[in-house]
Amino acid sequence: MSFLLTCPNCGAREVTDFGYGGEINPRPKRDPSFRELNAYNYFRTNTAGVQREWWFHRSGCRAWFYAERDTTTNEVLKTELP
Amino acid sequence: MSRLAPQPGERIDRSKTIRFTFDGKPVTAFEGDTIGSALYAAGQRTFSRSFKYHRRRGLMCVAGQCPNCICSVDGAPGARMCTEPAREGLVVEHVNATPSLEHDVMEITDRAGTKFTPPGFYYKTFIRPRKFWPLYEKILRNAAGLGKLREEQPEREWRTEYRRRHADVLVVGAGLAGLSAAIAAAELGADVVLTDEGPEPGGRLLYEGGHEQARSLTARAREAGVEVLCSAPALGYFDGLVPIWQGDTLHQVRARRHVLATGAIEQPLVFAGNDIPGVMLSGAVLRLASLYGVRPGDRAVIATTGERGVEAALALGAIGVEVLAVADLRRGPAGNDDRLREHGIEILHGWTVVQARGRAAVTGAVLEPLPGCPGHGSMRLELDCDLVVMSGGQAPATALVSQAGGSTGYD
């Protein structure tokens, strides 16, 4: 696995510069039930296709940002700051 | 020393000498020599021993493609003498022969009766009786392997530098095709990286009389802004990322387009004794003579399947090697026959070398016509020679493109 990610601050870098933060799932609202918390913590949709995910520019500006990546081809469609 | 007069375009610098040792004996080389070329010039013919039968192995390809000249350099096994540059004070040692390259006790496996060691016998033959296995194991474990690691490793002095490089085009292989591709792309404004495993760009041009063209193309490429990496083999292709190993630096090159101009690997011919030291590929003798100014032999017999062997014959003739005959597998007359005859070299169409004779080095060659050619079964030529040059055609070097998942085709 090897591809380029465009950090919104720094520009295109090797993927090994970044840390993967997992797919984006909506934060539960105030005072969630245990069931909601459980779902937030442990359930993943594991999309085969385009998914929105968190990335962390570990060896660069150390910013967390969003990326839209096709999980089947590793093509990165878009990156943006939250 | 069997050095020729200075050759046009040679890689060595005769004004600078280097001293290193091979098995404790001092060897003198010139700046630009490889360990292999310096030893060959000093008269060494046996460079290693074969893995199992401990048959002598001499220089064969002089291109880093065969394991014939494997050695240990400064205690690190696995170096190839024909590509490893000679440097001042190197300690070069042979591998896989005890007590010495010239006298190897394990050679008995090649000499002893065929019943004891038939071709392809396994060391497993020695498993019975079971209770003696620990004894056998001790001996066999020592018999196997190429080279020995040092008991204690020195403090790691070197470290790897990692360098990332983004480019528009990566060209692997700096022969005529690669250089031309790199120049064409760079002159259109692309950011180009050109890499080659050899110490200078040019590929075959360097030893086939095109060194001036190679150097002018290289200069033009540099002028056009091509980044030229030498002694830098590309290690593989991983989703568009090509790691290139150059000394202590790993260039991680990501390019948008790749041109793989990796060239071809010359193939040997099959005949009895084709592993005796002194049987070499045509490219090997040309490299020895043109790049390092080393005389490959005095009396040569050439076995070829095409023009490459004929060109080698003419080149050998030009440096004063006596070419006794060119055995050409092609049955009919070919383009360069007249040129060979002008130089007094006999060409035998439809003939080939069926045997190379000799033990420590080639002493002769036996030539016969092919089946279906005039004289087959009745004619036979035995020539005394110290060099058999073979050229069995070219196989494209497709390792990188195959590893990348590509396919190849003829057009």
Dump pLDDT digits (tens) for B134-163.
888 887 777 777 788 887 777 766 678 999
Tokens of B236: 């593989």
DSSP conformation class of B307: H
Please state the rounded mean pLDDT for residues B222-243. 95
- Residue A12 in tokens: 């295109």
Hey, is the C-beta of A12 within 8 angstroms of any chain B C-beta? yes
Q: Which of A1, A2, A75 to mutate to test the interface with B (most CBs of B within 10 A)?
A: A2
Task: Tell how far CA A17 is from the center of its chain.
Answer: 14
Burial class (CB in 10 A: 0-12, 13-18, 19+), B37: buried
Nearest chain B residue (CA) to A1: B239
Phi, psi at residue B106, to the nearest 5°?
-70, -5
**ipTM of the predicted assembly exceeds 0.95:** no
What pLDDT, in 10s, does the model give residues B39-96? 999 999 999 998 888 889 999 999 999 999 999 998 888 899 999 999 999 999 998 8
Task: Tell me, yes or no, if B241 comes closer than 8 A to chain A by beta carbon.
Answer: yes
Provide the chain A residues 33-72 that lie in CB contact (below 8 A) with chain B. none
Find, among B307, B197, B315, B193, the residue nearest to B254 by Cα.
Answer: B193
Burial of B327 by CB count in 10 Å (0-12 exposed, 13-18 middle, 19+ buried)? buried
State pLDDT tens for residues B163-172: 999 999 999 9
- How are beta strands B161-172 and B192-195 bridged, if at all? parallel
Q: What is the dihedral of CA B331, B336, B341, B345, to 10 degrees?
A: -80
> Residue B9: is its pLDDT beyond 60?
yes
Enumerate the residues of chain B whose CB falls inside 8 A of the CB of residue A14.
164, 241, 252, 254
Would you state the pLDDT for residue B96? 82
Residue B356: Cβ within 10 Å count: 25
- Among residues B167, B173, B178, the alpha carbon closest in space to that of B257 is found at B167
